Structure 1
Amino acid sequence: MPRNPGITDEMIIKLYKEGISYKEMLPIVGLSDRAIRNVLYKHGVKMNREQSSGQPRKHKVNEDFFKIWTQEMAWVLGLFVTDGTINKQIHSISFTQKDEKILRLVATCMEADYVLAPAAPTRLTPTLIINSKEIKQDLQKLDITPNKSLVVPFPDVPDEFLPSFIRGVIDGDGWVDHEGYTMNITTGSQLFAEGLLFVFESWGFYSEITKGITKAGNPFYRTWVKGKEHLLKLAEIIYKYEIGKYISYKRLNMSQHSKEQMLFLEHLLNDKGYEILNKL
């Protein structure tokens, strides 16, 4: 059973020392539990009996996080719909983002230990891993399932929490032009694109869906909001609630035509507690 491309002995040792069981390592490294033991034995790594028995690793997380709607839960759910993955083989989920600050904010919201998957040639972008059967099941109750990218529906989000959910979606997979005139969200799911369209139109924005085809031949959809006045209003709606002391460049781009908004954001950025989330 060959190991997965790019997986070194050092990576296997690092995973083991972080408390990951053999069972959890199998899909990551591609080796059998016996082969993993041989690697650890070769390097003189002291082995833990409970960990070797396949018990799940013990990392802190609020397992009730997706049971109760809050602004933070809605934001994290929006991020997960766009940048999250449910592992089919083990009870874990993951978030992938270029900027680790947003992953740290997710971990803070979920009261989770900050555990990143080891870098590998096939995974260069930071990935936050959260192990929890309960959280995986709660996401599935919200119709978020493995292999969701092409079929995920728009979740039944209460109106009170829609702005934070949309903010999470935009933070995850949105694009805002530097001039602040257009915004779009890209998804492989037509159902999700249509759900976004319904929300934007209900908020009074000019919105439309365009369709394209990837190099692999799969369809993708972009839901647009156009016009600087509409983007200003969108920013007012989705950034009403502060979630962590971070300001994304997308928020800056949306708000640039409002002197009042830009002065407000400049004031926040002068506060040492705030940082800009670079291009997500």
Structure 2
Amino acid sequence: MPRNPAITDDIIIEMYKSGMSYKEMQPIIGLSDRAIRNVIHKNGIEINRKQYSGQPRKHKVNEHFFKVWSHEMAWVLGLFLTDGCVNNKIHSVTLTQKDERMLRLVADLMEADYVLAPIRPTRKTPTLIINSKKIKEDLMQLGIHANKSLTVQFPDVPAEFLPSFVRGVIDGDGWVDHEGYTMNVTSASKSFAEQLHFIFQTWELNSMIIINKTKTGNPIYRVWVKGKDHLITLSKLIYKVEIGEYLTYKRINMSQHSKEQMSYLEYLLNHKNFEIINRIKKK
């Protein structure tokens, strides 16, 4: 029985570690359960006898998470739009972040098992795996597809939850300078960049789009917000609702020119068990 095209050992290991049974894996991979076990053994992965017995997997996740809007759901959606990936071969989605504490928070919010993809030469950043056909379908309904970077559209987010969604986009893929005067989000999707720019304008922020070219000549779109007062306004909007007990340096950099906000952040750190993550050293 030949292995299905494009199914690598890493993909087999990801499915196995997620808790899928051999019975579920066989039609996707195209190998017998013995051949799958040989791949697992060859890569030094400990064999789980319950999976060998063919018992149904028990992959924990709230499969209704993306069906009901909330600030937490909108924030996670923003992260998936920027740093997530929908697998077009299996019913799996992944989220990549340098700081695992953010991945753990996403797993907690989604009531998902905390399963990380194996580290390999082309993937050295921690990556959360969620195997669920329903989660994958719901993300696709919201506009997040495989190979989305060039074509992703701005989701139809209810106005109440729009700031939390934008926070997810910025927490995931935004950049804020250390002095707190500029912020930008980079996207390869013209449509998404233009809609984000429009949102910033409706919030009366000093925003603009600058188009650059990659080394291969493809356009990329940087959506900017400039001016310390405008960054203070932006931070007040997107961080109004607390999600998780942590502060990113993006938030601190955005807020540093506001005594009111810095006093609030100091209060959170000293009295609410908050911690700072994603620290970037000044050069």
TM-score bucket (shorter structure): 0.7 to 0.9
Corresponding residue for 1:113? 113
Structure 1 residues 47 and 275: CA distance shift in structure 2, 3 A: closer
Greater CA drift, 141-150 or 184-193 = 141-150
TM-score when scaled to structure 1? 0.87
Structure 1 residues 137 and 259: CA distance shift in structure 2, 3 A: same
Cα distance in 2 for partners of 1:174, 1:204 equals 19
> Cα offset for 1:48?
4.4
Structure 1 residues 71 and 59: CA distance shift in structure 2, 3 A: same
Corresponding residue for 1:81? 81
How many residues are aligned here? 273
Counterpart residue type for residue 81 of structure 2: V
Does residue 92 (structure 1) correspond to residue 107 (structure 2)? The answer is: no
Query: What pairs with 1:118-137 in structure 2 (closer than 5 Å)?
Result: 118-137=118-137
Counterpart residue type for residue 86 of structure 2: I
Cα distance in 1 for partners of 2:240, 2:26 equals 41
- Quick one: percent identity of the two aligned structures? 62
Native 8 Å contact 2:20 2:51 kept in 1? no
Determine helix, strand or coil for the equivalent of 2:95: strand
Corresponding residue for 1:149? 149
Structure 1: where are the runs of 5+ without partners? none
Structure 1 residues 44 and 200: CA distance shift in structure 2, 3 A: closer
Native 8 Å contact 2:15 2:25 kept in 1? no
Please provide the CA RMSD for this pair: 3.0
Native 8 Å contact 1:24 1:56 kept in 2? no
Corresponding residue for 2:257? 257
Corresponding residue for 2:220? 220
Cα distance in 2 for partners of 1:141, 1:52 equals 35
Corresponding residue for 1:180? 180
> Cα offset for 1:144?
1.4
Determine helix, strand or coil for the equivalent of 1:266: helix
Structure 1 residues 49 and 256: CA distance shift in structure 2, 3 A: closer
Cα distance in 1 for partners of 2:267, 2:223 equals 32
Counterpart residue type for residue 178 of structure 1: H
Query: What pairs with 1:12-91 in structure 2 (closer than 5 Å)?
Result: 12=13, 16=16, 19-21=19-21, 32-33=31-32, 35-39=35-39, 48=49, 57-91=57-91
Cα distance in 2 for partners of 1:192, 1:122 equals 27
TM-score when scaled to structure 2? 0.86
Does residue 164 (structure 1) correspond to residue 158 (structure 2)? The answer is: no
